[in-house]
Structure 1
């Protein structure tokens, strides 16, 4: 049924929007933290006698911040997340209209109106990027659906979650190393 297709698409796009907006927040926090650490290291290296190596480390750290800020800006997580949110709100409106049509008596069903709504649904599908497989799996795992997750899909979702955790760990690793390096320089450890 068309209403099922719209509902599945909507819940997956909700997950996609949440994921992108969360990535935006994480990236902004990461960028602010790296920038703050860079300023702290600059002050430490100005006050303390810094070696040529310290200056190279600071230059590399500044380069990481520059690349990170360019990547975040070009990824446009916030814009994409907001666009998906607007899309799933519009999908909700179509869902209600289709549900009303489908619940009416079959004799009174309006095939022309149903086709118009199907066309509107297809138009909305083309307005934004599609959700990822992970978004679909996550949405289906959180909702009672007619398409429950199979065992291999549950495992696939677990792998994706573990990879996300690794991404977070590795994105903070240079910050931790820089902080340790800064404390070492500050306290002559």
Structure 2
């Protein structure tokens, strides 16, 4: 029965991790789309600024035009990068994967219940569990692997799992890193432009 429980547990944990991975990818998609709009707004503001500088003074025109050119190139490169990441498509693929894992988990629970009710013999139980394990391995290959952060988030949110102090610290580190990265993405361009103008 331990063999069956181990398979059941890994299916359940993987399903939770894939749910978190799908949420993370959806969140990344929303965040990057918001950044594209934000960066486009900055470039629009820069364009207006360059237009007024050209009207009023010739001294800062080259500096302002250079900032605008660099910003436009950076936005183009960022847009290309975001398209290549395909967050939305990956999130959908991950969602299909965790739905299939959920069905597999239900099959495993039914198998365990049948065994406990004596509807199924031990040898047959092990054979069917091995088949479900093969399906599990096949499902793992259908989508990219989840990250360590997804795993920590899954076990953090699961009330049946007790997190160790190390896991809590690691989860906090990942969360802090995510927030700092978001702040840098929003504040960074403004800081660079401001520094360049003052320099």
CA distance in structure 1 between the partners assigned to 2:193 and 2:110 by the alignment: 59
Does residue 96 of structure 1 match 2:99?
A: no
For the pair 1:142 / 2:157, whether they are aligned, the reply is yes
Q: 1:40: how far off? A: 2.6
Partner of 2:133: 118
Q: Measure, in 1, the Cα distance between the counterparts of 2:36 and 2:193.
A: 15
What secondary structure sits across from 1:36 in the alignment? helix
Note if 1:85 corresponds to 2:95.
Answer: yes
Q: What residue number does 1:21 align with? A: 26
Greater RCO between the two (CA within 8 Å, min separation 6)? Answer: 1
Moved over 4 A (4+): 178-181
Moved more, 170-179 or 134-143: 170-179
Unaligned runs of 5+ in 2: 55-59
Cα deviation 1:73-113 (Å, max 9, x = unaligned): 11111111111111000000111011000111354143333
SS of 2:15's equivalent in the other structure is: helix
Could you say what the CA RMSD is over the residues aligned between the two structures, in angstroms?
1.9
| Number of aligned positions between the proteins | 181
Whole-angstrom CA distance in 1 between matches of 2:81 and 2:159 = 37
Q: Which structure's CA Rg is the greater one?
A: 2
Q: 2:77 & 2:185 partners in 1: Cα distance?
A: 13
CA distance in 1, matches of 2:85, 2:100: 24
